[in-house]
Chains A and B, each alone.
Chain A
């Protein structure tokens, strides 16, 4: 394949525009990945047509499928933002898992002293608590980077593991509800405080919150001077300083906001689904967020699209298992193939955009 050294368009200009290619290439990538996957399942005696039919049906084929996809996508949007926002500032923070679970814990316990209050202020309180704790956790990584020169990827990863250990220690010890016998959990929150299911959509209100935050992030990053400042800092700290930006504050600020996203995701999990904090919060959302963010090139609206794609794939994985007896790992293989192909296609598309600009 000549793509190893990069595609060099010939001396004559290409017949299609770069924009058209930019749209076509990811689609081609999905087709290529699907072809490879089809060969893979055929090798195992499955009819590829049936498999693909089920994938489409399971993720997007009915309103039930859509509800499934949306509810699985909801947490992914926020954890994706948690990685994407610092990435704009040039940071790679991968500790979303720890911030999410600690945020969930904070959300789960903060309303316990209040009985009989209105739901909305309690829900806001939970989100705030989650955001603060999550923000603290990511902010630590930011501080360590700016004031101790500690690489934020490694520090956020270590902090994530440590955060999870603290979570376990507290939910099974100090903050444990004695009535939660075989699944150590915190005291359940007042059921009236839980996030309602949105009528007509069939998914909990956390989805609306996540989508709103994605839109806000998009607007802030693209149209405000904060977003601009963040990108300057991400481009070159030296240039940023020359422009008079307080680099430390921007980096730590971006970290805190990002951590807040992850923390809110945890609080929403508690408020919309679990009603309490326990090990069911530790399911790898944080790591999925890394994938979502990078696939979306750290753009908030693209993050929503990628989250939907991944949510749809998880939803259809369920159907594949039930109908065809295919192991859960089958969808992992397909996801890996799609991600790889889309990433490469995206890179080629970007290259073409750049070369045709000359």
Chain B
């Protein structure tokens, strides 16, 4: 049974009901002041200059809200330790909202703990709630691929060699969605552009990421993008080789002052506030919360100095089209890189189409294998 995914209006309604409105990080709208202890779990280091840090930044912003008390634990492995940490936060620290920020926490850890503590809300990044699971679980994610699409457009304008490179961890659907969107964006500028993907095999492997970046540049790529937990090494290596780069999770512009074009960044504070609001209002958490550029769940990094006015304009237009709904990234006819038609002509799969949760192909124009 599929849930109707959250659409833009619902997000607005939820935030309004919680006493706030969609905004970017620095807004001063206040939530109701009931004290709330929030527990956050990170699978890696909070200062990884990547995925975990993006959550930590949002957590820090959440902490500034009146009445919010934060307990955090980093480097929690996806073993029984995760369950123990969550329990500790609930029993010892009185947490009423748990933010489990890594995929691996969902099965079985969040599921077990949610069943054991039905009065606590568990919000998990990236999991997929289905009927039959405990009602106190919310799963959230963001359409980061919309921001990657924009990055792709910018990269497509800026590339001279017509070849882009992407260093990715593993071919999971979340990553494939982004990789494909990047390629679709670039190829919308020029269908002759190719994107080469190298999979490193794991989320954090600095030496292999550096090797992969070097290989991609050797193969002619002049823009490098990253889909790993901490893109710092990839971006730095690209800068050393004198090629352009696109970032991920947060802005790595200071690491690549010359070549940084733009990047796809999370804005986790928005869903965090939704869940804090629903706990305070005593309501069930949103089971499947996803949104993108329009609802401030994701954003793009400011443009780097090399980005031409033409590229900027194209990016802005695309952004406005996506938010307005006049442009859909995954629209037919779309073929994968083995020649099969994956989206027939005339069909579109909008960002909130659940079929994208199970994506398992690489689009035409991508050199690489799932």
Contact = CB atoms under 8 A, between A and B. Distances in A.
Interface string A171-201: 0100000000111100010000000000000
Interface string A298-330: 000000000000000011001101110101100
A50 to B, nearest CB: 15
B73 A322 contact: yes
Nearest to A181: B173
B84 A72 contact: yes
A322 B88 CA distance: 9
Nearest to A273: B80
Interface residues of chain A: helix, strand, loop or mixed (majority): helix
Given A181-B173, A182-B103, A275-B107, A321 B81 contact: no
Contacts of B201: 168
A115 interface: no
Contacts of B108: 273-275
A136 to B, nearest CB: 24
Interface in B62-90: 71-81, 84-85, 87-89
A176 B174 CA distance: 17
B84 A280 contact: no
A184 B104 contact: no
Contact of B89 (A188, A314, A322): A322
A312 B120 CA distance: 26
7 contacts: A181-B128, A181-B172, A280-B78, A280-B79, A283-B78, A322-B71, A328-B75
Interface residues of B, number: 36
Contact of A327 (B74, B76, B106, B357): B74
B170 A172 contact: yes
Interface in A259-305: 269, 272-276, 278-280, 283
Contacts of A168: 201-202
B107 A72 contact: no
Contacts of B71: 322-323
Contacts of A152: none
Given A64-B92, A68-B88, A322-B73, A182 B80 contact: no
A315 B84 contact: yes
A156 interface: no
Nearest to A64: B91
Given A183-B103, A319-B92, 14 more contacts: A67-B84, A68-B88, A72-B84, A272-B80, A274-B108, A275-B108, A276-B107, A279-B202, A318-B81, A318-B88, A322-B93, A323-B71, A328-B45, A328-B75
Contacts of A276: 107
A269 B79 contact: yes
A255 interface: no
Interface in B134-184: 170, 172-174
A273 B104 CA distance: 13
A285 B128 CA distance: 29
Contacts of B92: 64, 319, 322
